[in-house]
Amino acid sequence: MLAPPSGRYLSFEEKEEIAQLNAQGAGVREVARRLDRDPSTISRESRRNATTRAGRPEYRASVPQRKAELPARRPKTAKPAASTRLREYVRERLAGQVRRPDWTPVPRPAAAPWEGRNKPRRQDRRWASARSPEQISCRLKTDFPDDDTMRISHEAIYQALYVQSRGALDRELVTCLRTGPALRVPRSRARKRPDGMVTPEVMISQRPAEAAGRAVPGQWEGDLIIGVGSSAIGTLADRSTRFTMLLHLPRMDGHGVEPRVHNGPALAGRGAEAVRAAVASAIATLPEQLRRSLTWDRGKEMAQHAQLRTDTGIEVYFADPHSPWQRGTNENTNGLLRQYFPKGTDLSRWSRDDLDAVAAALNRRPRKTLGWKTPVEALNDQLQSLQQAGVATTD
C-alpha cells in the first residue's frame, strides 16, 4: 500500500509533464513556470533520474516513479527484525552488563520485575549499559564505517521498543532508558505544563501598576509551605504592611486510609478546592479596601482562581515560572515561618489557634523596612488614612 502523494513531492502526472516538455525542448525555467515549481526542483529531478539513450541523457517518468514507490511501500520490515547482527548490537548497548575497568561484570542490584509501568519510585533499578537510542545510532557510523547494513536511526530504535509490530526488541528494555517511561508520550503532550490554568490574562504582567509598588495596601502575595506527608500551611502577606495571615489546611477524612481516586479531591488538604475555600475565608475578614489583588506562584493549588475571584472580588495574578523574586514579600515571610514550622516536620498537627498565634507573633515584630513599626501598626495606619480619605470625599 502506498501513501497518498503530498505537495512536497512531485506527482507522477508532474513527472510525465516534465518528460513531455523536455522532449519538446523546453528549458528548466519554462518547465518550472508551467508546473509552478522551483527551477532547482526541476533541474534536480531531471539530472538525478535521467537515463542514457543513444549517447545522450533522456528523462522518462516511469524511472523516478519506480524509484519512489519501492521505499514508500508499507508496511516495511523493521531493521532490527531483519538483521540479527544489528538487533544484537542495539540490545547489547541498551541492556548490556555494567563492567569494571578490567571488563569483569558488576553484580546487578535486585530490581523489581517489570510490570508495564514507569520506573519504580525510590527503588533499585536495573543496571545496564543504558546508552540512549541516539548514542547507539550515531556510534554505528564509527564502529562500522564501511558497512551500510549496520545503520539505524534513533527513531527506529524507539519504535522497535514501543511498537511491537515494528521490531524484535523486548518491550521490557524500556527500563534501560534513562527516564524509563512505560509509554511514549507525544511531544505535544509533553510540552503541556501542569499550570495550564495560567492564561495570559492573569499573568503578573497584567497586574495594575499600583500593585508593583508598596504604597497601596491590599496587594497580597500567597504561597504554601510544605511539610512531610503532603501537609501544608497557606501563607498570605501584604506587600505594603507585611501583615501576615496563615491558612489552616487540615487533612480531609479518609487521608491515609482510603485509596486515592483519580481526579478526586486531594485528601491531604492542599488541593485546589481546599486552598480556594481557605483563601476565601481569610479574605472575607478584610475590608473591601484591602482586597485589591493576590499574586500566587504557579502551583496547581490555585487552579480555582476564577471561582475565588467571583467569591471574594479579589483579582488573582500568577508570577512567571521560576521567578520567586516577583513575590519577594511572601518568600521572606515563608523564611521567617520556617523558624516555627521547620522543613521535614508534619504541619498538619497544628490547629487553627496555633497558626493564629504564630501569625500574631510575626505581626507584632517591629520591621526595619516599616521604620521599626510592627505590621499591625502599619496596617492600622493605612486603614485610618483610608477612612479619613473616605470622610473627606463624602464632605
383 or 391, greater pLDDT: 383
Over range 18-36, report the average pLDDT: 89
Cα 241 to Cα 208, 261, 336, 373, 382, distances in angstroms: 18, 42, 16, 9, 8
Q: Does the pTM exceed 0.85?
A: no
pLDDT tens digits, one per residue of 177-197: 888 777 777 665 555 555 667
CB atoms within 10 A of CB 265: 13
CA 155 – CA 381 distance, rounded (Å): 66
92: three-class secondary structure by DSSP: helix
pLDDT tens digits, one per residue of 238-248: 999 999 999 99
* pLDDT for position 5: 54
CB atoms within 10 A of CB 41: 17
Domain ranges within the chain, ordered by starting residue: 12-72, 79-106+125-183, 200-394
Phi, psi of 224 (to 5 degrees): -120, 145
- pLDDT grade for 113, boundaries at 50, 70 and 90: confident
pLDDT tens digits, one per residue of 59-87: 888 887 877 777 777 777 788 888 889 99
CA 227 – CA 318 distance, rounded (Å): 23
Asked if residue 395 has pLDDT above 60, the reply is no
Instruction: Decide: 300 and 196 in contact? Cβ < 8 Å.
Output: no
pLDDT tens digits, one per residue of 199-233: 888 999 998 888 888 888 899 999 999 999 889 99
> How high does pLDDT run on average in the chain?
84
* pLDDT for position 2: 46
CA 202 – CA 317 distance, rounded (Å): 5
Asked if residue 127 has pLDDT above 90, the reply is no
Over range 141-169, report the average pLDDT: 85
Is domain 200-394 in CATH 3.40.50.300, yes or no? no
